[in-house]
Structure 1
């Protein structure tokens, strides 16, 4: 197996050793730091894979990320955009306020089905489901049913 040499700069070497030796880091980051340190010392890829329990793809990607983008790209995960919020905080506040208001006529408390129907009418969002209302209310710390 042909191995491309990798030489870390003194500053990068110090950062890699800091990640390996102390602090709270994700296991992926520590493994990547181990990979970079081993490659810097000239340890064969097969031995790195056996000791760290990683595949050759992880090793190759770590090396390629360091060569292309430096230490930041090689060690730490790139932030992901994630899914945008479907309902803004105004809708969540309206649903929470509705749940904290008095229950419908003839009821002792709100049910999720009644809250869903009332929230659809009040917010004008026909796509609000019972599960969405439940998740919105679960995020709040209020407990209107407790005395």
Structure 2
């Protein structure tokens, strides 16, 4: 209960009248753009940036803008207009407020992942690929090579694409 008498037992609703911007005020991460930021984002959207993330976030921020020139759209309406999920709109607003515009327009670098085929497993793959194929087969397929590496307990699991990429890089 928010302390305002409503419903049964209340003669009338004593809550103050809501302004047009009031329904949005409960949001945790409010987007309030100044005129320079709006101009920058409009140019970014109009230029048709080759990167999807900055253009999409710029569209979201322009529609969610609570500043004096902003349209103040709801997350649901913005998500529908930009063709994204409501959670994407929320995360875009959150990124702008917590990280700032320039940082939020860039993707975070992903940490490097070690290859499944290390210095021991890679020569084993080449050895298996150069050996005679299984009975009933004319040649090794990527799936067969991946299955053979798992059967030989060289790796726990491996995708055929990893096998292909490794063989392509091997002289």
Correspondence for 1:34 among 37, 59, 76: 59
Aligned length: 131
Q: Which runs of 5+ in 1 are unaligned?
A: 121-125, 143-147
Q: Distance in 2 between matches of 1:57 and 1:67?
A: 15
Listed as ranges, the gaps of 5+ residues in structure 2 are 1-22
1:99-114 equivalent positions in 2, closer than 5 A: 99-100=129-130, 103=132, 112=144
Shift of 1:24: 1.4
More helix by share: 1
Change (3 A) 1:86 1:57: same
Deviation (angstroms), 1:42: 0.9
Query: 1:32, 1:55 → 2: CA distance?
Result: 12
Aligned partners of 1:73, 1:137: CA distance in 2, in Å? 36
Shift of 1:66: 0.9
Bigger RCO (CA 8 Å, 6+ sep) = 1
What is the TM-score normalised by the length of structure 2? Answer: 0.51
When the two structures are superposed, what TM-score results if normalisation uses the length of structure 1?
0.57
Aligned-pair Cα RMSD in Å = 4.2
Please identify the structure whose Cα radius of gyration is greater: 2
Q: CA deviation at 1:135?
A: 4.8
TM-aligned CA distance change 1:56 to 1:44, over 3 Å: farther
Q: In 2 relative to 1, CA 11–96 (structure 1 residues): closer, same or farther, beyond 3 Å?
A: farther
Aligned to 1:2: 24
Deviation of residue 54 (structure 1)? 4.0
